[in-house]
Structure 1
Amino acid sequence: MTEKMSSTYITPRPSSTEEVTDNLREDYVKYLPLYKAVDGGEWESAERFLAVHPDAVRAKITSLGQTALHVATLNGNVVMVEKLVQLMSKNDLQVTDNHGITALSIAAVGGITRIAEAMVNGNRGLVCIRNSYGYIPVVVAAIRGRKDMVRFLYSVTPLVEFNPEISNNNGVTLLIETISAEIYDVALNLLQRFPRLAITKDKFGETALSTLARRPSAFPSGSQHSIWAQWIYSIFWLLRRIAWSALKPLGIQQVYQKKLVRIQVIEILKVICSEIEKLDEAHLQEAGVYFAMHRAAKFGIVEIVDGIIDSIPNTLYALDENGQSIITVAIVHRQHKVFNLIYGMGTKESYIMPFDKQQNTMLHLAAMLSPYSQLSRVSGAALQMQRELQWFKEVEKFVPPKYKEFQNSNGQTPQTLFTEAHRNLVKDGEKWMKDTATSCMVVATLIATIMFTAAFTMPGGNNSDTGIPIFLHTKAFMIFIISDAFSLFSSTTSVLMFLGILTSRYAEEDFLVSLPKRLIIGLATLFFSVATMMIAFGATLFIVLHHRAKWTAIPVTLLGSVPVALFVLLQFPLLVDMIVSTYGSGIFGLGK
């Protein structure tokens, strides 16, 4: 008796927390077969368990407080979800886990639309239930970039959930996230219904305009199309009548979709601009319009800059936190389209602040090294240096003469700053030029040697009495001798041009025209020498073999075109880039 009492006294009584934990552990053990069946996708086993324990369909069967529906949704098992939903009431579908997340919110993350459709059909009120962050399912789907899920959930969510006058920040969050996820059709529809969202900030201080200003690829100014793609791009409305499935292999559908996206983005921008033009100075600052415009200038989105200036002309003179205006931001980040836009406005640019906080003029800013993101768009260090010189020379045209020798707070003139900032790029450009010239010079020298030798080794031989070539009067021989001469002369010219590059002094100014011009001539004559060499080779084979095998002409011609084609693929793009960069219309021009 004493022993029993002693035992009872020594053993502590379980606390209420421990009792709850024990009970939960017992429940998890009880529902373990159901969890395994649902997790393994075995509906028959799950159905048998639910037949014995019908309340288990709404029970929390994991330590995270998840129901069987949560588990099936996490696994993306469409059939399992549809079967479970049929057994659940509306209230059952609203059960949340320990983090306040419904199964529909999980489905929104997963992006499987059929799962969401099954749940919404069972309870349309699910689309309005917020998670612990205050987000409804459509916003959750937008944050994860689930485009089809967003479109479905947006279509079934009451519009009152997005009204900035009534609801919380779900409307503006959805707008910003759909822009970020490139779901522009939903963003445009939302803005057209609630234009005030255009000037509303989310909990992180972002607006639709500032988000749009980070997406240059969504605008025509931020993309590059091939010639054929531009043609399709310009007539895409006609292509709507064509069978798209037949055109898919050609990539035409992708071009059409890009055009459609850009039309939607421009419409979004129009709605935003129509709202911001109603604001006064204080509200423009509060709505982050100036910040968004400077961001757009940084990324080169000329459509946003132009739209904001058209709506509020005084924004042209707004300064950022560094004391830089729109034009100086465009110079620093090498955005030539924005630069051309501002200087295409006439005398307005004369009233823009000429200095930043470090007393840098616009020419100082042009003298600084371009950001790597812009510099890397130009192929080769020499062409990069050329582009930097072009920027410096272009900005120099618009700077008053007294500012050309003006010293900033560090005591540097624009030219001094340019030399110091581009010292390493000049070295890289010199190395790139010399490496390219050396490689091409070896090829050109080899071709010149072969063609010189071939001129004295006539195909078919010479007449032993007169020394005149036996096939002198044939067309094939004339083709051979003319091609041989052209190849020899052009390869020799190419060698001289590459030699001139190797012996150049490599001053900064040489990268603007002198060095690129020599490389252009060298590459062009080298390309011509390769082509004429192969013509001469083909003519020689035809002269030797045409009596025995006339069919050799076609395969010889095809084989002879292979080296030329390879050279075109490898070197011709560089040649075109250099010609366009040196002698083309260039990236500058008022109003471009």
Structure 2
Amino acid sequence: MSAIANRLHKAAIKGDWGDWDEASKLIEEKSVAVRAGITEYKETGLIVAVKSKKRNDFVKDLSEKMSALDITLYDTRNRTALHRAAGADNREITEKLVEMNPYLPNAKILQARIPLYFAATRGCEEMCDVGSTSRKKHGGKKELHNQALELVKFLCNVLCDEIADSNNSKAKKIFELALFQATSLGIVEIVEEILKSYPDAIYLVNEDNPSIFHHATKCRHAKVFNLIHQVGESRTIFLSQSDKLKNNALHLAGKLAPQQQLNLKAGTALQMQRELQWFKVIFPDSTRDKYLLIK
């Protein structure tokens, strides 16, 4: 590995693979080489190469062997390849890196400095345009929302592996905290992802609630409560369980909703109607949809 890293370092400085005819195959076989820190500051070959526009052809070739995640790697000074390309006023490579990873312009280093900072302090106006345009284009709430969900999926998979390997109680505790916090906030996507990744999470309890459905009732989050369909006929058992104050789900439905939920309906009459819906949904009757909230 050290020999490969050494040769990659020399090639990155020259911007040319030289007589290293087997470079492409070797890099592909040893893909870890493109992620390795090959200088005193643990810079990757890409970070070394982007510092000069003369090496752009080499950079393009090298970047083709890297993933969107690989190009986010940073050195011991917390600088990515984009920081270096922006600082070198290298628009061609800056655009290439942003195209590979649209979120790279948001990567911060020490003192919360993003690549745009490097471009601005060096008077590189064109680089500022690239960075700011990307931030406007990819910085919307929808993109951030999707990115957050991808992170949740990844973390869920990691925790599931921990539980599978050692029945890790700490991992279960993390699931419990995340599940009830997401329920408190009404973030049904996260609740769904946790239940999808770890189905047994539906049986998790905390100090105040015998199930997430009790907590959803208390917080008046209908979308989370409607996940009760996943437990089938066991829903009656879930809802009949009591918390430490001896309150079952019906008791919780009979309590006044949190003020922020009441405020979602204008007028006392509509607020009362909504509160009655919760009570009727949980109260046993013979209707087929007795557990489905009216939205």
TM-score, structure 1 length as denominator?
Answer: 0.25
- Bigger relative contact order, structure 1 or 2, given CA contacts below 8 A and separation 6+? 2
TM-score, structure 2 length as denominator?
Answer: 0.49
